[in-house]
Amino acid sequence: MGKSFPLVPKKVAPVRTKFRRIATPVPVPESLPLLEKLRLYEPRSMSGQPPVIWDHASGVNVFDPYGNMWLDFSSGVLVTNAGHGHPLIVARLRELIEKPLLHHYCFPAEPRATLVEKLATFSPDPLKKIFLLTTGAETVECALKLCRTWGKPRGKTVFVSFEGAFHGRTLGAQMVGGMPALKEWIPHLDPEIVQVPFPGDPRCQDRSFAVFEKTLQEKGIAPEKVCGVLSETYQGATAAFLPSEYAWDLRTWCDHYQALLVFDEVQAGFGRTGKFFGFEHYGILPDLFCLGKGISSSLPLAAVIGRPEVMDLYEPGTMTSTHSGSPLCCAAALGSIEAIEKENLVQHAAEMGRVFEKRLGLLLERFPDRLLLCGRGLVWGLMFVKAGSLEPDGDAAFEVVTRCMEKGLLFFAPVGPGAATIKISPPLSIPEEAVHEGCDVLTETVAEVCQ
């Protein structure tokens, strides 16, 4: 599935607009030694992104050292919600660097205390306990651990997640993930971690909650044995959301059988979907939810937020992390949240989402036999299929990403089934003018590849 982008420079037409500037071929000939060095010393798995040398970034733009500028529709894989290099984030980081305070383990410190208090103000009652970690995968591992720990004295050991889900690359995160190809390295899968069909994908034929119950029955799972159910707020592989009625039924089912409901908000949190937390679209509350990526718009930080009776299961010193609440990461998160609040970026994401919905809808109308579309706010999944079928067309998606890169529009590599989905996820600060310019480039490029 994975592909490496070619390192042979290709001559392309120069581009110079407000948001894009391409003066030299991509990759730039002068950049080849650096790219070759990375391919020599890093594992092959690290060579899967477009060969753009990131030198600096600001707002919605990424710059290389050679005079090229891209309009960024990646947010560095949905991280830079407040925009690249936001001044409020930089200022907060400078304060701590100049102290200096660069690390504190789990000893008490003001940045961590301020951040957990701030996160608690956004989280609805009774979800007021916050555990800070480093990556999204860590938060999923923690949520799995808490569900199993909560369920053990109650005779509940089964953990349910969804087909097609991606929750990270660690052992537990990949076992609860819903992509079989990512589990081939695991010799002994936990038989009490099971997946059920995800109802949000446009290819799904039956979106009723009855499928959830029927699948558990077919797998021989008694509902009373389930300790937790985990779902991405939207599936990262496609940007497909749960149907709202299904989400309500799932919450009701978990309440009835006393199972914990967990939402993976790693890609959805901090305004990405047009709500501060993505689960707000459903009008229900989870028992636990996982955060990462956009929490700081920059440095590695993540969090699990949940009900006190679940979060407090472990004794002092038994659920910790070496870099839990790193002072610099906390400072970056406080700066990012301040920027999101001051600039009203959650509402702006909702408004720009409606612009994307219209523009991408027109693209879908133009190529109905080649494209599927999911999304909301400032996350969209444009899925390429082979004409007259629902079979993923990864080659077409890869070619579109490559050509867009050459024109100054930057995506990360295609994801999802068949690596055929282009994720559209610019910083939340993107101006409407840039939305239209990016959609113009995308429309032109899809037409070149699909006609």
Q: Which residues contact 334 (CB under 8 A, 6 or more apart)?
A: 92, 111, 114, 115, 118
The domain defined by 87-342 folds into Aspartate Aminotransferase; domain 2 (3.40.640)
The domain defined by 15-82+344-450 folds into Aspartate Aminotransferase, domain 1 (3.90.1150)
Q: In the structure encoding, which two tokens stand for residue 372, read together?
A: 């599927």
The edge-to-edge listing of strands for the beta sheet with 193-196 is: 129-133, 302-306, 288-291, 260-264, 226-232, 158-162, 193-196
> Residues spanned by CATH 3.40.640.10 within the chain?
87-342
When pLDDT is averaged across residues 234-243 and rounded to a whole number, the result is: 97
- Which residue blocks in 178-298 are alpha helix, DSSP H? 210-218, 244-257
Beta bridge partners of 71: 61, 409
Nearest Cα to Cα of residue 287 among 164, 114, 147:
147
Nearest Cα to Cα of residue 263 among 169, 136, 382:
136
d(CA 404, CA 411): 8
Phi and psi (nearest 5°) for 359? -65, -45
**Residue 138: alpha-carbon gap to chain centroid:** 14
Q: Kindly indicate the confidence band of residue 198, based on its pLDDT and cuts at 50, 70 and 90.
A: very high
Position 10 scores a pLDDT of: 80
pLDDT at 2 over 80: no
Nearest Cα to Cα of residue 249 among 257, 308, 194, 166:
257
Average pLDDT, the chain: 97
Q: What percent of the chain has pLDDT over 70?
A: 100
At 402, is the secondary structure helix, strand, or coil? helix
Q: In the structure encoding, which two tokens stand for residue 144, read together?
A: 């799995």
Strand ranges, E, within 31-79? 56-58, 61-63, 69-72
Strand ranges, E, within 134-225? 158-162, 193-196
Between 451 and 287, the more confident residue is: 287
**246, 272 Cβ separation under 8 angstroms:** no
pTM strictly above 0.95:
yes
- CB-neighbour burial class of residue 327 (10 A; exposed 0-12, middle 13-18, buried 19+): buried
Q: What percent of the chain has pLDDT over 90?
A: 94
Which of the residue ranges 6-20, 36-50, 401-415 would you say has the lowest mean pLDDT? 6-20
At 162, is the secondary structure helix, strand, or coil? strand
Q: In the structure encoding, which two tokens stand for residue 111, read together?
A: 């940045």
> Residues spanned by CATH 3.90.1150.10 within the chain?
15-82+344-450
When pLDDT is averaged across residues 47-56 and rounded to a whole number, the result is: 96
